[in-house]
């Protein structure tokens, strides 16, 4: 469960409120699109990596995941132009608003139950997350010719700290999450420095 913490960034729980504060509704809409694309890969390929690769057992675990089915239904409703009745939509909105604090609680509990052992490899891993993420972001905006707000959002999002779900998903599938938890905690703390730096470099 090491690779997901290096590859996937916290574009949802951290990125969305960050962009809303920085650039308002337009920037938030862009990071939401970014997060949806990343979530598709995190909850498909990410789960396959965590559960042991592209085996029959891993694929079975993937298709038993309620998150995958929720995403499929969401895309189907969106493409089909299906609108939920206001009471149901409002209820789902409030449930969704609870996701971020619940994820923080789950991460806190997993950290409390984890006996941390310092790994020297955490330094190159953090370098990969921040510097590697920035380089990939620059490659994407260059190849796609992104400019303005879209360019800034993409560059900053690419270098965000590790996604919280990279620490929570291993627990869901009975795997060790110690290294992923270290990555999430340390990269989030370093975000106090790296996020302003990302905005400065993007400008």
pLDDT in tens, the chain (203 residues): 688 999 999 998 888 889 988 988 899 889 988 988 898 888 888 888 887 766 676 677 667 777 777 778 877 887 888 888 888 888 877 877 776 677 667 666 666 666 666 678 889 999 999 999 999 999 999 999 999 999 999 999 999 999 988 988 888 778 888 888 889 889 988 999 999 999 999 88
For 109-143, b/e burial (b = at least 16 CB within 10 A) is ebbeebeeeeeeeeeebbeebbebbbeebbeebee
Hey, which residues does 9 pair with through a beta bridge?
Answer: 162
Tally of CB atoms within 10 A around 165: 25
Give Rg (Cα) of the chain. Answer: 17
Tokens of 191: 């975000």
The residue length of the chain stands at 203
Q: Interhelix angle for 148-158 vs 133-144, to 10°?
A: 150
170, 176 Cβ separation under 8 angstroms: yes
How confident is the model at residue 113, as a pLDDT? 61
How confident is the model at residue 114, as a pLDDT? 61
* pTM reported for the whole predicted model: 0.80
Reference 163, options 180, 139, 138, 150; nearest CA is 180
Give the Cα separation of 130 and 108 in Å (integer). Answer: 23
Helix (H, G, I), strand (E, B) or coil at 115: coil
Q: Assign residue 119 a region: left if phi > 0, alpha if psi is -120 to 50, beta otherwise?
A: beta
Tally of CB atoms within 10 A around 29: 16
For 36-74, b/e burial (b = at least 16 CB within 10 A) is eebbeebbbbbbbbbbeeeeeebeebbeebebeeebeee
How confident is the model at residue 76, as a pLDDT? 85
How confident is the model at residue 120, as a pLDDT? 80
How confident is the model at residue 158, as a pLDDT? 96
CA distances for 40 relative to 4, 70, 97, 126, 152, angstroms:
13, 11, 19, 23, 22
């Amino acid at each position: 469960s090491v690779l997901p913490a290096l590859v996937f960034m916290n574009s949802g729980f951290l990125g969305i409120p960050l962009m809303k504060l920085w650039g308002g509704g337009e920037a938030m809409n862009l990071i939401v699109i970014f997060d949806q694309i990343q979530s598709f890969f995190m909850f498909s390929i990410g789960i396959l990596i965590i559960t042991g690769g592209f085996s029959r057992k891993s694929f079975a675990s993937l298709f038993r995941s309620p998150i995958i089915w929720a995403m499929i239904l969401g895309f189907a409703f969106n493409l089909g132009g299906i609108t939920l009745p206001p009471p149901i939509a409002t209820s789902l909105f409030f449930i969704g608003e609870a996701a971020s604090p619940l994820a923080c609680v789950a991460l806190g509990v997993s950290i409390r139950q984890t006996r941390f052992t310092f790994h020297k490899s955490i330094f190159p891993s953090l370098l990969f997350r921040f510097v590697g993420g920035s380089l990939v972001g620059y490659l994407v905006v260059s190849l796609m010719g992104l400019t303005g707000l879209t360019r800034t959002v993409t560059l900053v999002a690419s270098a965000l700290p590790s996604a919280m779900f990279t620490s929570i998903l291993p627990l869901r599938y009975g795997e060790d999450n110690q290294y992923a938890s270290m990555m999430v905690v340390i990269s989030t703390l370093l975000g106090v420095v790296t996020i302003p730096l990302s905005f400065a470099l993007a400008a």
